[in-house]
Structure 1
Amino acid sequence: MITDTAVLPTTSVPAPLPVDRRQGRFRQLAVDTGYALAGFPAGVAAFVVVVTGLAVGTGLLVVWVGVAVLAATLLAARGFATAERAWLPAVLGEAVPRPVYRRAEGRPVRRLITPLRDPQSWLDALHAVLRLPFVILSFTVTVTSWAVALGGLTYGLWDWALPDASRDPGNTDLLELLGFESTAFRRIALYALIGLVFALLLPFVVRAVALLQAGFGRVLLTSRAATQAEIGRLAGGRDAAVAAEAVALRRLERDIHDGPQQRLVRLGMDLARAQRQLDRDPDAARETLGEAAGLARETLEELRALSRGIAPPVLADRGLAAALAALAARSPVPVDLAVDLPTERLAPVTENTAYFVVSEALANVAKHSGATACRVEVTCTGTRLRVVVEDDGSGGAVAAPGHGLAGLADRLQAVDGVLVVDSPRGGPTRLTGDLPCA
């Protein structure tokens, strides 16, 4: 049982169902077609609203009414952009980040001009203006492709309804324009062939224009959101590093206060007592000095143990594998250690973090789990280092923010890593850390 950690919920992953590729293609064709058809009226409406609003708002800026008109225009552009973002995941086949807009705060005037101070609002407006050629192209190509494909394949059903050249000499069909004799069979065969070709090309053509339109939308509507997400991730990593170091420093301070500091205080008292006994009772002074020497050795051993918990010399001198072997040898719970690392040394921050994860996990296994065996597995695959600590204890790990292994999640997050704890009641407990090798 590993305690003092933020337990992440685990869910069983069902076995993947067999996927019908044809069904997937038909669904994607339907999505792309709907995107093109819905995008045309939305794109025209967005263009008209935004261009009109910007023109009117700019013209009325001299009387300050234009500020309200521009703000309303940007809010309308935000609405059109939100609708476009809702389509992008289905068309692109991947999740897209959503930007964080500036919140309206302060006095009424400041709240009014908030959209004007938000860069993403102006990108939304730019998208509404520049999007029009893309939606026209996408709509035209999609409708034309569908019309030719369906019209050609069903031409035999309505050929009889068209004017006949024999009755209307001014009517000329495609065969006659090409210089061939026109008959019903030839016309049906030719148009059916054209319809078949367009039907075969339809998924690819519609997909191409849909991706062109969606790709343009992704550039203007989500690129800044991706930057915001990266900044947020880095800020979260920085905060996690600060929190992890604060927890480590508090624990180190507590350990020093409860251990070596108390022993050193007693050592000073023993030496002072020996000094007073030296003249009147040399034998008692000698006994006191012997106790002080033993206390000094215990203090030294405790300081060495604390230093090993921070960064042992063997880690810096011989690498992570040797440090983990020494750590496993000192564990009171038998440890089965499996290490698969490249021949070259990993980055110091990676080795220190992995060592700290294993050290903290083994310490909690010994203190709280009641386990009789533990397995530690450290592997480097590609660019990721995976650390797994599993014990056969009673399980039931609980969250205790700010203590023990709770700092591991912050420490791993600080190096772009993640921590997952699976600890059902009754055991076993499995702690998995994943972090970059470099």
Structure 2
Amino acid sequence: MNTNSKSGEVGSRARGMVLAAGRGLLLAVVSLPLAVLGFCLSLVSMALIPIGVGVLTTPYVVKGVRAFADRRRVLAERWGGVRIPSAYRPMPETANPWTRTYALLRDPATWRDLQWLLVDMTAGFLTALLPAVLVLYPLEGFALAMGLWRVMTGGAYGEYGPYWYGFVPVSDQISAFGAAALAAVLLIVAHRYAVSAFQVHFTLTKALLSPSQAELAERVRVLTETRRDAVDTSAAELRRIERDLHDGAQARLVAMGMDLGTIETLLDKDPQQARQLLSQARQSSVDALAELRDLVRGIHPPVLAERGLGDAVRALALRLPLATEVTVDLDGGRADAPVESAAYFAVSEVLTNAVKHSGADRIWIDLHHADGHLRMSVTDNGKGGAVVGADSGLAGIERRLGTFDGVLAVSSPAGGPTMVTMEIPCALS
């Protein structure tokens, strides 16, 4: 039983050794050129920012570097069991290029990725390649002992001189056996330490790519603020619903009940008056039902629950007094209900602001999902001048989106047009 257990352990360790060697070799061969390319492109692009070219190229280069780093995070967890958190600040794809580039340069994660690229093309390359060297180099030693030494030294007479295998000069069959002995020792070392050596690569990667404590503290602060804003918004929404019920449908229902009581007393005495009150009661019931429907639509539109965000926004556009064009590209998928609700009401509030304040006669709405983000843009041909201020409606939208790690960007020069872009990270199902 113990023999079988030890045999299984040896076999498992051997498989792990070969797997670590193969994966390490793949990482070394593929990652080195990508790391060098990403590092060089980043430096060149950032150096060109003062003349304006880098403003256009830097966001795309940084996006590529982040995709490369995220892929390494996936491999670290899949191959090494090392989880590396990501703390990139969200940035809308359609934001003003200067604003977007400036935000990327202010993100500590951008500079952390550059530092990682520099180390990954040096120490990272060596730590990824080491398991492969430990496993493959002994094969050469065994091949030398099997006769390869004759080819490497130029035959039995050693025309090329001795061939060095490690610190062993191989010039004849005896020294070739010495190379094989060294290869056996190296193979034992590989069997024991190849997996651990491969793990060093991911440990180094984690040390460089993990966010700092200051960034994590900032992240906690932002989440705390957005949670507080969400609670305040929910409380305000509840008070609005109570007020609307009290002043609207409830008042009409109370009046209808009083009318019905009066009708009961008038049925025999004054049928004509009773019929008039019945007509009033019927109209009051119609009005109360309409108000309740409007109230329900304000809480969670039925079309949103039944048919999704795209159709809900189309229905919203049909009720606007302005000509509105809606483009939806969500691949037939749907986000989680809370995300859909936040996105719907964010678009609704932007449209309300556009109708009230922009002076526009046409609005364009675009919804699409790409790269794990739901992006919504509302554009009007109005007078422009919209800003995200403490007292503006856009600030409330920004807080609503912030609850889901979403962001809002506004481009609204004087004279228009105005484009409001909203982005929420999410997956579609």
TM-score by length of 2: 0.48
TM-score by length of 1: 0.47
| Pair member with larger Rg | 1
